[in-house]
Structure 1
Amino acid sequence: MTDPARPSPDTLLLEAQREGRGRLKVFLGASPGVGKTYDMLRAAQAAKASGVDVVVGIVETHGRRETQALLDGLEVLPRRTLDYRGRTLGELDTDALIARKPKLALIDELAHSNVPGSRHVKRWQDVEDVLAAGIDVLATLNVQHLESLNDVVLRITGVRVRETLPDTVLERADEIELVDLPPEELLRRLDEGKVYLGEQAQRAREGFFSRGNLTALRELAMRAAAERIDQQMLAYRQRHAVSEPWPARERLLVCVGGKAIDRSLIRNAARLADTRGIAWIAVHVIDSRAHRLPNEAKDRIAETLRMAEALGGEAVTIPGENVAAEVLGYARSRNVTQIVVGQSNPVRAGWRRRRSLAHALLRSGAPFDITVVPTRNDACDASNTRDPIAAERWRWQDHITGLALVTLATLVGLFVDRWIGLENLALLYLVAVLVSAVRAGPLPAIVTSVVAACSLDFFFTEPRYTLNLQRHEDVLTLAVFLIVAVLMGRLGGQLRSQMQALRKTARRNANLSDFARRVAGALGRDEVARIIAEHVQATLDLPCVAVIERPAEALRPAARRGIGPDYQFRETDRAAAHWCWDHRQPAGYSTQTLPTSQWLFVPMATAQRVVGLLGLHLHERRRPPSAGQRRLLDALADQAAVALERVMLSAEIGDQRVNSQGEELRAALLSSVSHDLRTPLASILGAATSLQTQNERLSADDRSALLDTIVEESERLNRFVQNLLDMTRLGYGRIEARREWCDLREIAGRARNRLRRELSGRDVPIDSAGDLPLAWCDPLLLEQALVNVIDNAAKYSPAGSPIEIALGTQSQWLLLRVRDHGPGVPAADREKIFDMFHRVQSQDHTAPGTGLGLAICRGLLAAQDGQVRALAPAEGRGAVIEMRLPRKTPPQVRDD
């Protein structure tokens, strides 16, 4: 527990972090027109009059003359101009302001959204940079721009405020000045044109600036300022180690244990807080022995804390061993003024009353109003009134272990008695007591300490083998031994409980870490759901399901553990899941919504949406989850929600990428196919029409030319259709190479002959180096690939220029190279030209076509374990397309 007489380390650390930063003062108002900018300028004029270096970073006067007049005499920093949608707009020049580095800067409209192209999206982010540079800032803000109040303002005014800022910006402000104006005065200013002008003022009068809206916004502004001032007061008290509560704002604290009377105690505290209109907190102190509480007590604590939250209070669980000290320390840290505590047996005297929490708080002399709420014995049964924290479980095995340890210490003592004294023998028994405390707990350790004292007296003090004592020093030794043994027993028992609690916490943290690691590596929603179900079932030992689809007519979990695949959910179960998904709140067993369901459903939700449900089957256990289990369940649900949303976003991005690629492919296909189909069809149609309508007028040479055109364009169209078919077959993996031993010279010759019309007027030599080995390939596929390459070279080279075909070998490859004398392929496009629909663009030449030829060529070569690539020519212009096939040795032919 933190010493109340010492300053809070967190507060001191926060103060140290603020060293070197500028101070931020915010002028907070309920709505536009209350005079925030006016008061800010008046404060700036006063600061300048006292010798402070003041610079106006940016101030919006909105045409108000009295506000504009206050700018006289102040240095105004030129704005940074940005072009946006054809307009020139001015924004805060943050760099110039930091370079100027005045003592005080004025920055209006803290929640303003900057013009696109600025360094930051929001102006408050610019203010953060200015503060970090050590410059004090005066800024203005309307309460409706706070992010946490966005929905509240929408319900009040019917207007969704688009420009918002995080509440933490206001929380980090060093000073807040509330600029308040009664609604009547503000409406009068609006009518006088001091807020808006012309039609804008009339629209505001009819909509946002109604008397009811302004009154509600005024209350919100006052509350925001009051909460910030309360936080500043708490920080001051912590910084200066003020232990006495300051009743500037009343706050009530109620202590919650594991008794049945706590529910009535919570009701009393809620009534007190509601009557006085103050905030209240329900606090439960959990010590190292809490894990040994009976399930009934754990359930009562969880139900009581949930009840406190339902009644409008704040539920808090804090660790500690001394309940009274922890409650008082927490009350000081929260500036609590009144503590409410229950007392089940107010008339009972004796040691049990002196040990009660109420008595400890009253005896502490703390400066709090302590209210003790008595409860009669008939309000609950004996099992409920018994203090579960003080109760210890009797196990005879633990006491036998303690007796065995004392016996062992006695035997060792009898053996070494002749060499060591009584004081040293007592240490042997202390070891036995300590071991018993660590292994069994405080109660067996106390019993062990009493038995050890008797054994020490009986076996090792004079007269021996009796319980009589003759020497006074032996009495003192035994008395000290007994006191030390009892203290060691209690401390050892506490140590054991703390070790068990730490092991449980470490095991839970390790499970959470393992869970986070597994879900982070999951690739699909079903895999995430399976991991969630497995982990929850293993951690809580309860049947569970993970639902990732919104429940409709039936509940279909994506993963289930602890229940069979034939398990049938009841209608109430489905309704609870449906309500949980729609309302983002737990539903089902142990909740206020559909509690007759056998399942408890918890939403796995992010800020944007619900991504799934986590269901626990609690009906057979017949008790709700404890507070610790609920916190663990909420943590698991949050982590699972993040993992599910990550997987869903990845899938959505993948779908969008596929759709985008499909749209690009469709557009390219339509664009290319329209040209490659329309051009030959138009030529064929024109030639056929001429033959049909003007056949008698045409000469024999003209008719022959038209027929040649029809044949040529038909072959061109046939090649294009064949390319499309080949591309489809390649896409579906249906091209199978039928290999045989082939002569590359013969294949090159056939390919050249198929393109004789396209190659008319060109010199196309075939150069083969020496004795060229046979190729193990599919001759038809290789010929088609070579035709595509030669046709591509003809398209991209000047008419009449030669195209060279070279055949050769290189290491383990057979080479076919086609070189043209065109502009060549840029280095950046040498790999892209083998993609579908890619065509090299140049300033002076763009060949028509789909760009399928080389893509098909790569597919045809790949089907034969070959490769194709584009090379730069060794000299001169042009491009070189090289096709390579694996070189294999032909089988030997025997002469019979």
Structure 2
Amino acid sequence: MVYLGAAPGVGKTFAMLDEAARRRLRGADVVVGIVETHGRPATVAKLEGLEIVPRRTIEYRGTTLTEMDVDAVLARHPAIVLVDELAHTNAPGAAHAKRWQDVHQLLDAGIDVVTTVNVQHLASLTDDVEAVTGIRQRETVPDQVVRDADQIQLVDLSPQQLRRRLAHGNVYRPEQIDASLGAYFREGNLTALRELALLWLADRVDDALTRYRSDHAITGTWPARERIVVAVTGGPETETIIRRGARIAQRAAGSELVAVHVLPTDGLPSATPATIAAQRALVESLDGTFHTVVGEEVPAAIVDFARGVNATMIVVGVSRHSRLRQALLGSTSAEIARLSGTIDVHLVTHEAAGAGVPSRSRWSALSTTRRTLGFAGAVLAPLALTALLLVVDHAPKDLSSPLLFFLAVVVGVAIVGGMWPALVAALASFLCLNFFFVAPVRQFTVASSSELLALGIFVVVAVAVARVVDEAARRTGEAYQARAEASTLAALSRSVLSGEDTAQAVVARLAETFALREVRLEVRESDRSPWVEVAEASSASPDRADDDVSEVTIDGDHRLMLVGRALPARDRQAVEAFGAQARLVLEHRKLREAAFKAHALEQAEATRTALLAAVSHDLRTPLASIRAAVDGLTSPDVELDPEDTEALEHTLSESTGRLERLIDNLLDLSRLQTGAVRPVLREASLEAVVLQAVEPWLAALDLDVPENLPLVTTDPGLLERVVANIVSNAVRHAGSRVRVSAGRAPDGVVVRVVDTGPGVPDDRKGSMFQPFQRLGDTSGTGLGLGLAVADGLATAVGASIVAEDTPGGGLTMVVTVPTAAAPMPVEAAPEQPASDQPASEEPAR
């Protein structure tokens, strides 16, 4: 259980202790884990009679701190424990960094927890609280921790009541009252914090209500809060409807704006992707949420969605269809109002109301060849059938057989040529039946009412069949086109996800898919900036004098220029989808480049910081030794005996060598990072390179380097520095003698430097070759550059370094150098001579 307060001093702890007293009277096992009284007498009095678990004492920087003793509470294992100030940060040395983590541990142990927290400590409200009070809260608790509570009780006081409590000294000490009243506890601040608490708790209650309705299968609306659903059609009036819905939602605090767009079940788009994307952006800019649902009937889908989100109002625009069509077929808005039940429906008028909806062309979707065959069949087939029937039976007594034969002709023509040829066939069939088979024959008259009815039904059925066949052909073509567009866009999306996110690939796919001669993607920085081409693709289509040049606007700063055949409207919708994909590609590229630059700047900043620290400390140490030695040797006031002189000279020599090695490694690191290292590769004896590299440490080494090793292709000077740095590092940490061995390997010659020191943990091996990684070394004799320089130089000469664990403890560094017969990945003339002087600056692990 959580007692949530809008501000300090509203009485959360007091209410928690009251609850504890009530539960204790009912026989519950209640203890106090930790309660902060802040010296308030009333709160201290409330603790009387409650069992208090002693606190844990922690020493930190000479100060004694107390925290809740989680282990003691677990050992006591009460039924209920009181834990005050959930967002509190524990002192260093406690079991967890945050008190809410202590609470999780108690809950996992089966102990119920009653706790308190102020709204300003909720993580999601940190920015809002800072905007209101001007104070950034450092101690926060994740919202989900509080939301997961079985019960949340709001402890509330009006701003005036809280200020009176503060003025009477019931919250802070007298010397803090005036400052608090004039700063954090201003009436406006308290009012805003109170509203934040109420709104946050309302969201939590709304979640609980949604779960309850779902668990109990409740479909009716419960008007617990205002939730406005706006029906988005994609038409030109939608922006007006969205803004009207937003104004309605803003009239009551805590109201929600929810927009819904219904996709037909046939999967064919009812609006262009660019239009829907723009309307989604508008909804989100008005602090609303945008949803897309699939439904066979648009009104029913909208009402079902509104019921599902427990909406109180549906905002829909007045139909754009003409009055005649609305009278005959009804309208979406009227159907929504009929189905809405207890949900209010708000109709919004707009300029396009009743103006009519531009219909798609009803011309057949069939090919020209099929339409031509259809018209030919529509004229010839009825005549041929008439001749055949007259040959077989000069005067048929029953009209049913000819009607069926002619209906079959109409259906066949509809299948071949679509609706318009079928209508011509129906008309021709009607004339043939009337003239040759309906009495009186050889006249365009009908004597019997039943025969007239049969002819009328024949025409109606023929027209209906023709329309169905034509619509099926149209829908089939649209479905094939939509499937092709979806497949192409899916391929583009996969290319983006797989990293092939070049705008060039998008425009190339666009030119190929729509057989366009040229496609250009252009961008601009602002409305006044010129358009700049960022990608261009051409197809194999030849130049034509009637090539159309059209512009497809993606947004204000991106557009596509299309050169080639004029695209129909349905293809332009798909092109807009391609354009939206291209814009996403460009934005993704910008984000990736920005992230790469940020990472590079972060690395540079880290290197610069480490370098400054090194210069200020590690480089000054040998300089101080050199200065002291020189002053001692040159001071006229000090007479030195030979031993002292020798010691100072030794210190001078040692410190100078150490400083030289530090500077060499810094220079090498700089050369590696700027790409200035250019190795001179040639055949060399690995034995000679290793012996020269380890010469300064021969007394501490066990060498096993055979003379019959094959020659290697490398830069001897750079490889010598690699081996020297690794051996120097091993000698410093070995704890005993270091073994250096060499031998053949399938991919080259291997040098192993084996030590039995403390080793390196597996989780640190990935970073041990980074600059300034001292890995626990506190000697202060190195910058942590040796392995970084060794790894960079090894890569430059085509070698590799791998860190392995030494059996029994320690670290084994494995250097693999390609033999002279193996091809080398690096071949370049020297930009500057490689140094033949081995460096042995030792990076600590």
Fold shared by both chains (TM-score > 0.5): yes
- 2:616 is the counterpart of 1:616: no
Contact 1:81 1:91 (8 Å CA) reproduced: yes
Deviation string 1:677-698 (CA, Å, 9 cap, x unpaired) is 753x45764699989xxxxxxx
Q: How does 1:203-282 map to 2 (within 5 A)?
A: 203-274=179-250, 278-282=255-259
Q: How does 1:42-121 map to 2 (within 5 A)?
A: 42-94=18-70, 102-118=78-94, 120-121=96-97
Query: In the alignment, which of 499, 513, 518 is matched to residue 518 of structure 1?
Result: 499
Aligned to 1:181: 157
1:724–1:335 distance in 2 versus 1, CA, 3 Å: closer
- 2:325 is the counterpart of 1:320: no
What code does the residue aligned with 2:152 have? I
How far does residue 357 in structure 1 lie from its aligned partner after superposition?
A: 0.5
CA distance in 2, matches of 1:849, 1:268: 69
Query: In the alignment, which of 605, 622, 627 is matched to residue 672 of structure 1?
Result: 622
Aligned to 2:534: 561
- 2:356 is the counterpart of 1:386: yes
How far does residue 395 in structure 1 lie from its aligned partner after superposition?
A: 5.3
Query: In the alignment, which of 219, 237, 261 is matched to residue 284 of structure 1?
Result: 261
How far does residue 34 in structure 1 lie from its aligned partner after superposition?
A: 0.8
Query: In the alignment, which of 535, 539, 543 is matched to residue 521 of structure 2?
Result: 543
How many corresponding residue pairs? Answer: 701
What code does the residue aligned with 1:195 have? V
Q: How does 1:489-638 map to 2 (within 5 A)?
A: 501=482, 504-505=485-486, 507-518=488-499, 531=502, 543-544=521-522, 561-562=534-535, 616-617=558-559
Contact 2:67 2:90 (8 Å CA) reproduced: yes
How far does residue 204 in structure 1 lie from its aligned partner after superposition?
A: 1.7
CA distance in 2, matches of 1:709, 1:34: 73
Q: How does 1:760-775 map to 2 (within 5 A)?
A: none
Give percent identity, aligned residues only.
31
SS of 2:86's equivalent in the other structure is coil
How far does residue 196 in structure 1 lie from its aligned partner after superposition?
A: 1.7
CA distance in 2, matches of 1:707, 1:27: 76
1:865–1:394 distance in 2 versus 1, CA, 3 Å: closer
Deviation string 1:685-740 (CA, Å, 9 cap, x unpaired) is 4699989xxxxxxxxxx9xx999999999999999999999999998979999999
Aligned to 1:584: none
Higher mean Cα deviation, 303-312 or 728-737?
Answer: 728-737
SS of 2:13's equivalent in the other structure is helix
Deviation string 1:89-119 (CA, Å, 9 cap, x unpaired) is 3334556656766554433223223334445
What code does the residue aligned with 2:9 have? G
How far does residue 435 in structure 1 lie from its aligned partner after superposition?
A: 11
Aligned to 2:116: 140
What code does the residue aligned with 2:232 have? V
Query: In the alignment, which of 159, 164, 189 is matched to residue 140 of structure 2?
Result: 164
Q: How does 1:262-411 map to 2 (within 5 A)?
A: 262-274=238-250, 278-287=255-264, 299=275, 314-344=289-319, 348-350=323-325, 354-364=329-339, 366-374=341-349, 379-380=351-352, 385-387=355-357, 391-394=359-362, 396=364, 398=366, 400=368
SS of 1:561's equivalent in the other structure is strand
1:713–1:535 distance in 2 versus 1, CA, 3 Å: same
1:115–1:319 distance in 2 versus 1, CA, 3 Å: farther
Deviation string 1:245-296 (CA, Å, 9 cap, x unpaired) is 112323333323243344444454445445566543343323367866676x
CA distance in 2, matches of 1:478, 1:138: 81
Quote the RMSD (CA, aligned, Å): 7.2
Deviation string 1:284-335 (CA, Å, 9 cap, x unpaired) is 323367866676x964x56555555556655444443421122112111222
SS of 1:386's equivalent in the other structure is coil
CA distance in 2, matches of 1:137, 1:448: 80
Aligned to 1:6: none
- 2:8 is the counterpart of 1:35: no
Contact 2:622 2:655 (8 Å CA) reproduced: no
Aligned to 1:654: 603
CA distance in 2, matches of 1:633, 1:654: 31
1:206–1:60 distance in 2 versus 1, CA, 3 Å: same
What code does the residue aligned with 1:43 have? E
Q: How does 1:682-693 map to 2 (within 5 A)?
A: 685=634
SS of 1:181's equivalent in the other structure is coil
SS of 1:518's equivalent in the other structure is coil
TM-score, L = length of structure 1: 0.57
SS of 2:140's equivalent in the other structure is coil
Aligned to 1:611: none
SS of 1:283's equivalent in the other structure is strand
CA distance in 2, matches of 1:275, 1:856: 66
SS of 2:347's equivalent in the other structure is strand
How far does residue 65 in structure 1 lie from its aligned partner after superposition?
A: 3.3
CA distance in 2, matches of 1:650, 1:156: 34
Aligned to 1:190: 166
How far does residue 164 in structure 1 lie from its aligned partner after superposition?
A: 2.5
SS of 1:189's equivalent in the other structure is helix
CA distance in 2, matches of 1:312, 1:857: 55
1:34–1:318 distance in 2 versus 1, CA, 3 Å: same
CA distance in 2, matches of 1:124, 1:655: 37
1:399–1:192 distance in 2 versus 1, CA, 3 Å: same
1:184–1:657 distance in 2 versus 1, CA, 3 Å: closer
How far does residue 454 in structure 1 lie from its aligned partner after superposition?
A: 11
1:160–1:44 distance in 2 versus 1, CA, 3 Å: same
SS of 1:398's equivalent in the other structure is coil
Deviation string 1:633-687 (CA, Å, 9 cap, x unpaired) is 89668755763454245323432453356446644444335535753x4576469
Contact 1:28 1:140 (8 Å CA) reproduced: yes
* Structure 1: runs of 5+ lacking an equivalent: 1-24, 415-421, 437-444, 520-527, 565-589, 591-597, 602-614, 692-701, 756-768, 797-808, 812-824, 867-885, 888-896
What code does the residue aligned with 2:592 have? A
Deviation string 1:60-80 (CA, Å, 9 cap, x unpaired) is 232333333444444444445
CA distance in 2, matches of 1:861, 1:309: 54
Contact 1:687 1:707 (8 Å CA) reproduced: no
How far does residue 217 in structure 1 lie from its aligned partner after superposition?
A: 1.8
What code does the residue aligned with 2:309 have? R
SS of 1:153's equivalent in the other structure is helix
How far does residue 81 in structure 1 lie from its aligned partner after superposition?
A: 4.3
SS of 2:366's equivalent in the other structure is helix
What code does the residue aligned with 2:23 have? A
What code does the residue aligned with 1:386 have? G
CA distance in 1, matches of 2:680, 2:506: 49
How far does residue 373 in structure 1 lie from its aligned partner after superposition?
A: 3.7
SS of 2:346's equivalent in the other structure is strand
Query: In the alignment, which of 617, 640, 643 is matched to residue 592 of structure 2?
Result: 643
